[in-house]
Amino acid sequence: MKRKRKMGKGLDEKRVEQIIEILESEYPNAKTALHFTNPVELLVATVLSAQCTDERVNKVTQDLFRKYRSVEDYARVDLGELEEDIRPTGFFRNKAKAIKSFCNDLVEKFNGKIPGNLEDLVSLSGIGRKTANLVLGEVFGIPGIVVDTHVLRLSRLIGLTKNTDATKVEFDLMEVVPRDQWIRFSNLLILHGRAICIARRPKHGECKIVDLCDEGIRWKKEVGSNS
């Protein structure tokens, strides 16, 4: 999609620059915590990470990635066997089905290779823009904004979007985050969402970007007027 370029920097662009600078010093090693050595491993780990901690996923994939070396290995395996191999990550039946289905697609449509573009990635069964952007960014170095639950929540709280639909939020963020920071910005918000801006109990008082966040500014006013 072609997007109109705005002249000069707006308030949100400047705010985003400051947020990135502050969060970078808070989380200097911001990148996905999932362990992987190739694109199919990242796809599998991402599916397993739904409703499961990255630590647990990494524990399970240690053995899993030794056993399954290629897309074809997942496509060929008996569903029940794969379910058992990933059971500790929870929702293992749905996850095994999802893994087998996108691996079957990869074998049938792409000769077992992971495509390096968004359109083809989202054509795979069960792969949405979030996972596709993650793979493009982490594996192919192609910028994309990963809108997971943390990125969506924080972007709304900070005031960078009013939307609730992940794709619309992604496009809103693309307008204000510099393209070369798209991957980094998502990773920083994810880490901040886990450490400080926790769902339903954000620690505004410990937040280093409180003065750059609409919700934080509201909170400070409230605290000030009550003291």
- Reply yes or no on whether 148 is catalytic: yes
- Give the CA count within 13 Å in the CB-facing half-sphere of 29: 1
Provide the minimum distance between the beta carbon of 22 and ligand SF4 in the complex, in angstroms, as a whole number.
Answer: 10
Query: How many chain residues touch ligand SF4 (CB under 6 A)?
Result: 14
- Reply yes or no on whether 180 is catalytic: no
Subset of 69-108 contacting ligand SF4 (CB under 6 A): none
Per-residue contact string for residues 189-218; x = within reach of ligand SF4 by CB under 6 A: -------xx----xxx--x-xx--x-xx--
Contact status, residue 39 vs residue 74, Cβ threshold 8 Å: no
Residue 182 CA: distances (Å) to CA of 26, 39, 71, 177: 18, 19, 28, 6
Neighbour-count burial of 163, counting CB atoms closer than 10 A to its CB (0-12 exposed, 13-18 middle, 19+ buried) = middle
Subset of 152-191 contacting ligand SF4 (CB under 6 A): 154, 157-158
- Binding status of residue 151 toward ligand SF4 by CB under 6 A: no
Residue (98 or 191) nearer to ligand SF4, CB = 191
Residue (89 or 187) nearer to ligand SF4, CB = 187
DSSP string, 39-100: HHHHHHHHHHTTTS-HHHHHHHHHHHHHH--SHHHHHHS-HHHHHHHHGGGSSHHHHHHHHH
- Binding status of residue 52 toward ligand SF4 by CB under 6 A: no
Write out the residues near ligand SF4 by the rule CB under 6 A: 154, 157-158, 196-197, 202-204, 207, 209-210, 213, 215-216
